Amino acid sequence: MMMQISELVKAQGGLVLSRKETKASGNGGCPYKRLTLRALTEDGEIDSSALEDFCASETLNHAWFASPGDVVIRLFSPLCPVVIEEGQEKLLVPSQLAILKVKDCTILLPEFLKISLSQKEIQEKIRRIESGTTQRVVKLGTIMELQIEVPDKETQRRVVEMDTLCRKKERMYLKLMEQERQLTEIAIRKIMGGTLR
């Protein structure tokens, strides 16, 4: 059944960091790890090496942090949606990102929402709607007005399993290709006498 995203999730934009950043250097302030645009990868993962430190002038409300089961998206095209997993819940969400909290997980799985938002058709629709903007900015309202297909929970689980398996295979293939490249380079060096002049 087709449903509007606003019927399925509660959305919240991220924190404008400049309003809460401590001006004093050295000790003082409250340290946090924050998500960045680069941290949300196109394959739906969080790149922990792209997280940044942030020192706030005060203790921040927990509403500005992603919780397990939340879907975090970029407010730039492409959206690069990710589902926050256990152990990732203390990540501060800045204003370039938004948090989508599924209202009822018996109707919609967060992982299925992530997959739906990643589909080329949805990404293209967003690009068409937001075509007037120069920086590929996506309004949260545009996301909330989108309609997505919401099948039964078992079908959602099967789709999530297929997507998970596909992404696992992709990572394995990439690792295998890198290993093959390294072996080829070693063989070339041996053939050329071990040194390049």
CATH of residue 123: 3.90.220.20
For residues 59 and 62, give the distance between their C-alpha atoms in angstroms, rounded to a whole number.
9
What's the rounded Cα separation, in Å, for the pair 26 and 127? Answer: 43
For the CA atoms of 12, 18, 22, 25, the dihedral, rounded to the nearest 10 degrees, stands at 140
- Are 188 and 119 members of one domain? no
Q: Does 158 lie in the same domain as 127? A: no
Which pLDDT band, with edges at 50, 70 and 90, does 87 fall under? confident
Stated pTM of the model: 0.85
Same domain, 111 and 17: yes
* pLDDT given at position 48: 92
Banded pLDDT at 133 (limits 50, 70, 90) = low
Whether residues 25 and 118 fall in one domain: yes
- Note the pLDDT of residue 56: 92
Q: Which residues form the domain of 159?
A: 151-192
CA distance 9 to 63: 15
Q: In sequence order, what E strands does the chain have?
A: 2-4, 9-13, 30-34, 52-56, 71-74, 82-83, 91-92, 97-102, 147-149
89 pLDDT exceeds 90?
A: no
Task: Examine residue 54 and state whether it is found in any structural domain, yes or no.
Answer: yes
How far apart (Å, rounded) are the C-alpha atoms in residues 159 and 19?
A: 41
Instruction: Tell me what pLDDT residue 29 has.
Output: 83
Q: pLDDT tier at 26 (50, 70, 90 boundaries)?
A: low
- Residue 135 predicted with pLDDT over 90: no
- Whether residue 63 is contained in a domain is answered as yes
Give the three-class secondary structure for 76. Answer: strand
Q: Alpha-carbon dihedral of residues 130, 136, 141, 143, nearest 10 degrees?
A: 90
Number of structural domains found in the chain: 2
pLDDT 10s digits, 39-65: 999 889 999 999 999 999 999 999 999
Q: Supply the pLDDT for residue 27.
A: 64
Cα–Cα distance, 167 to 83 (Å, whole number): 14
Residue 179 CA to residue 93 CA, distance in Å, equals 36
197 assigned to some structural domain: no
